[in-house]
Amino acid sequence: MRTIDYTKTWQKLLTPDIVSLLTCIHEYKGEQTLFIEAKADTLEQLMEIAKIQSTEASNKIEGIYTSDERLKMLLKDKTMPKTRNEKEIAGYRDVLNTIHESHDHIPPRPTFILQLHRDLYKFIGVNIGGLYKSSDNVIAEIDSRGNKKVRFQPVPAWETSEAINALCKAFEEVLADGTVDPLLIIPMFVLDFLCIHPFNDGNGRMSRLLTLLLLYRAGYIVGKYISIEKAIEKSKTTYYEVLQESSYGWHEEQNDYEPFVRYMLGIIVSTYREFSARVKLITTSGLSKPERVREVIKNTLGTVTKAELMAKCPDISQATIQKTLNELLSAGEILKISGGRFTKYTWNRENDLL
């Protein structure tokens, strides 16, 4: 079994672009504290939106779906899950809530990882959650012709328990003296977790839940307000590419963590930027709610949907947003693209030239 020792590898990651990303995140973290203290009520609305997006996106990456209406009812705990997909979604919902509420009391240790996995499958009814894999598994992909190709051969089943123990021990040891930036070690931990692939099912979703857990424990709680899982889902192709690139030579201890670390830091930067933009919009003084909707559309390159406007302005009702859209359309300030469920809006740039 390969040795996991982060003390020998993290310094190799201090490339100029990664250092730049780290610096940017640290600056945003300072702003984060001020935002949270000043606008707790408004941020509660952002948190509820992020929970929905995180649960939907992380499951969607794995091909687990339900309707928008059922998803919202499940997330509000107003219905019982009916299908296998809905049971897995409900399990993710509950684990996400546990991490949001109790992250300080959930250290990254094998027993807690098993408990989180157990709760991920608590609605399924079969003995699948909270147990390491019972047989060897592979990470595979299926091409356009339906042919299955093995991308990576994880740790064999009989080594799994020992590998997870070593992973958690290495993580805690490297961060114990406080000299290493957790932002470097967290993506390395997640990559190694995925290379071990400790469960028969749920490894991808667990890796994203553990990402949130470790970021929250390190003080980077932006994922509570802007969905990190949604950002990953939107760049899913790149996500899988860097996973594969960083797993080459893993068993021989020759893999390069940099592609995956750089990708994850970029995801974190993008969520912080989105968080900062939304809070600044919410806290802008002197603008009415319709004026804020107008500013969002004007400052959006390309198109925006009503749902996206509601996400960016969580304190503005759907009725107010719809009324504002109608008024902007009548005034010729915005353009309407397509119709029905997939209607999008864009700022009429021709007016800027007049």
List pLDDT tens digits, range 208-225: 999 999 999 999 999 999
Judged against a pLDDT cut of 70, whether residue 74 lies above it is answered with yes
| Cα–Cα distance for residue pair 221/275, rounded to 1 Å | 11
What topology is assigned to 288-353 in CATH? Answer: Arc Repressor Mutant, subunit A (1.10.10)
What residues form DSSP beta bridges with 347? 334
Helix, strand or coil, per DSSP, at residue 352: helix
Interior angle at CA 118, CA 184 and CA 93, nearest 5: 75
Contacts 24+ apart (CB under 8 A), 38-45: 38/283, 39/279, 39/282, 39/283, 42/279, 42/282, 42/283, 42/314, 42/315, 43/225, 43/279, 45/314, 45/315
| pLDDT reading at 4 higher than 60 | yes
Q: Is the pLDDT of residue 354 over 70?
A: no
Residue 150 has what pLDDT?
A: 77
Ordered by start, the domain boundaries in the chain are 6-281, 288-353
Minimum mean pLDDT range among 218-232, 237-251, 257-271, 287-301: 287-301
- Over residues 135-150, mean pLDDT: 75
Highest mean pLDDT among 48-52, 53-57, 209-213, 236-240: 209-213
**Span 311-334, average pLDDT:** 88
List, in order, residues 6 or more apart from 341 with CB less than 8 Å away.
Answer: none
Report the pLDDT averaged over residues 312-327: 87
Cα R_g (the chain), whole angstroms: 22
Cα–Cα dist 242/274, whole Å: 23
> What is the assigned CATH class of domain 6-281?
mainly alpha
**Polymer length of the chain:** 354
| Mean pLDDT computed over 27-49 | 76
For 300-319, give the DSSP string.
-SS-B-HHHHHHH-TTS-HH
pLDDT digits (tens, 9 = 90+) for 93-112: 999 999 999 999 999 999 99
Does the pLDDT at position 121 exceed 70? Answer: yes
Would you call 332 helix, strand, or coil by DSSP? Answer: coil
Which residue blocks in 218-299 are alpha helix, DSSP H? Answer: 228-234, 236-247, 258-283, 289-298
pLDDT score for 307: 85
- C-alpha dist (Å) from residue 59 to 7, 42, 89, 130, 214: 33, 27, 7, 18, 20
Looking at every residue in the chain, the average pLDDT score rounds to 89
pLDDT at 328 (0 to 100): 92
